[in-house]
Amino acid sequence: MGLLETIKGPQDLKSLPAEELPALAEEVRAFLVDAVSRTGGHLGPNLGVVELTIALHRVFDSPRDRLVLDTGHQSYVHKLLTGRQDFSRLREAGGLAGYPSRAESEHDVVENSHASTSLSWADGLAKAFELRGESQGEHGRRVVAVIGDGALTGGMAWEALNNIADAQRPVIVVVNDNERSYAPTTGGMASHLATLRTTREYEKLLDWGKQSLKRGGTPGRLAHATLHGVKKGLKDIVAPQGLFEDLGLKYVGPVDGHDTEAVEHALRRARSFGGPVIVHVITQKGRGYQPALADDADRFHAVGVIDPETGEAQATSGSSWTSVFADEVLAIADERPDVVGVTAAMRAPVGLEPFARAHPERVFDVGIAEQHAVTSAAGMAAGGLHPVVAVYATFLNRAFDQLLLDVGLHRAGVTLVLDRAGVTGPDGPSHHGVWDLGLCRLVPGLRLAAPRDAATLRAELREAVDVDDAPTVLRFSKGKVPAAIPAIARTGHADVLEGPAWAQGDDVLLVAVGALVTRALDVAARLRAHGVGVTVVDPRWVVPVDEALVDLARSHRHVAVLEDGGEVGGVGWALAAGLRERDDATPVHGFALPQRFLDVGARDALLDEAGLAPQDVARALVEAVARTGQPERPGPSAAVPPR
């Protein structure tokens, strides 16, 4: 039995002799490489926090002391040390979540997995412990927030630090400094931490100079000159820790994050202070796994199934939505010098890397700061540029106020590209991009497109960047792009995909949004097999609802809408509202996602569970057509709101 197998919880870890901890760390890393290479997941971040997580659980008493992991993608080691060592179904339905999960363990506190929130959580927990009389004294409950240098680029973290420092409650903030978020950390905070990192080297040199001076002689004269230079440099080089100390935060570090004894010592000092403390820990992302330490190490931040020996990804076929966008936005940028790219710490994952390589001065990575990204883009638009802001759909939630009032109110020509829209699968409830349709519909003047294939993505992106007096949005899903789906006709902005008699009306108008077009075509085939006439339409631009689409809906006996966003504020909801405004009682059957947090699971399986399986949709529509009879159009009492 290895050491890791003996660890069923933090108490087992505390009783382990210190000399055995390096061997335990080695076992943990070997376990992670083996397990994550089979399932996919966040490999690099977890390899970097092994010793740090061991030290945290040896010094603090989780769950009595609360450990809050910012973002949570580095929680695999924490899971292993708190009794969760079955990683066989990591990030699958019924298996371990890829982020902290309160349903899994009492040791997990925060599970939203969006960055820069941990310090606010810690502040709130500390306030609660204080008011309940649980935080006083040496043995009082402590709150520890582990936040990366990348997450410190988010403004919310500094709002929290401002409050933590002022209150003087016992909050320990561990800055896990590995110089990266998904990619290298950018901005002034990154430069500040880089300066603090060098302090250790200056202090070593200073100590050498002092010892040499004692010895005298020529080496002493050399040491004297060196000491003079070091002292002069130290005056400036140590000063940046004042950024924390001037706020009222004690500062400990920097500490070697791979020296468990040193980290434990620093954490015990921090615990004893009884007030807010910054513990600056320097770690190496991907530690102990050579492929993750190469020049392209950022691809090991999150991996799919890989060869554990080489780190090579399992071969896949077909183009991704992201790669098609990457090619087209670069082509547009080559043609138009006014087009610029903006992202929030995810330049490569959202497809802006080729653009950045070709035009480095025109792509701006603002760090984990979506609010700043969107308002800065509004400023660029006001200055004569056309920004393309590319983020994951789930992260648009964080910048809604800026989209509404800074972009929308000012009618700024900004294009937002939402990658991983709809159901994303293994990352769970916080990462499904299911809220953007409802949110974007609230912004006056905004137009939103949902491409169905590569050709429509390219066309709609070009249409979007041609709009200079209002915000435009392009949303597409995670995964591979389907084969080309040609249109047979166009009405307004909408493409008619099937239904040769569409102009004269039919039993069912089937409206399919973006990536769900392939499912709609399957539904249409099933309907025709039951003798139901059907017209399939891709609206292309789904916000606002095209008047031509409303007219087309009125010429059919039933309307069905398939979409991978929430039902409230979705396309079905809006189309039904458009028909009501015309006093038209054509029933609209909405097949959308329920207004709840969807769990971890495969994309197709989650869509099926939500009622979007082609056979279920077809059955519901066949029954609806049968109920209304032939050939009369339904009256007002037959109107059905979206589900």
Work out the average pLDDT over 413-419: 97
Angle at 181 between CA 431 and CA 294, to 5 degrees: 115
Work out the average pLDDT over 248-272: 88
Annotate 518-531 with DSSP letters as a single string.
Answer: HHHHHHHHHHHHTT
Longest alpha-carbon distance in the chain:
109
113 is in an annotated binding site: yes
Overall fold of domain 321-475? Rossmann fold (3.40.50)
Contact 142, 65 (CB under 8 A): yes
Q: Which residues are catalytic?
A: 285, 370, 398
Work out the average pLDDT over 15-21: 93
73 is in an annotated binding site: yes
pLDDT tens, position by position, 456-469? 999 999 999 999 99
114 is in an annotated binding site: yes
Identify the weakest region by mean pLDDT among 269-283, 371-385, 401-415, 495-509: 495-509
pLDDT tens, position by position, 225-259? 444 444 444 333 444 455 677 677 888 888 888 99
Contacts of 388 (CB under 8 A, 6+ apart): 329, 339, 340, 341, 342, 415, 416, 417, 465
Work out the average pLDDT over 284-301: 72
The token pair that represents 157 in the structure block = 């973290």
Strand pairing partners for 261?
none
Contacts of 120 (CB under 8 A, 6+ apart): 156, 159, 160
Q: Distance (Å, rounded) from C-alpha 434 to C-alpha 419?
A: 12
37 is in an annotated binding site: no
162 is in an annotated binding site: no
115 is in an annotated binding site: yes
pLDDT at 602 over 80: yes
The C-alpha R_g of the chain, in whole angstroms, comes to: 28
Work out the average pLDDT over 31-42: 87
Query: Do 321-475 and 489-638 fold alike per CATH?
Result: yes
34 is in an annotated binding site: no
Residue 208's pLDDT is what? 47
Overall fold of domain 21-300? Rossmann fold (3.40.50)
192 is in an annotated binding site: no
Contact 189, 158 (CB under 8 A): no
Annotated domain spans of the chain: 21-300, 321-475, 489-638
583 is in an annotated binding site: no
Pick the CATH number of 489-638 from 3.40.50.1220, 3.40.640.10, 1.10.287.610, 3.40.50.920: 3.40.50.920
Work out the average pLDDT over 527-539: 93
pLDDT tens, position by position, 73-120? 888 999 999 999 998 988 888 888 888 889 899 999 988 778 888 888
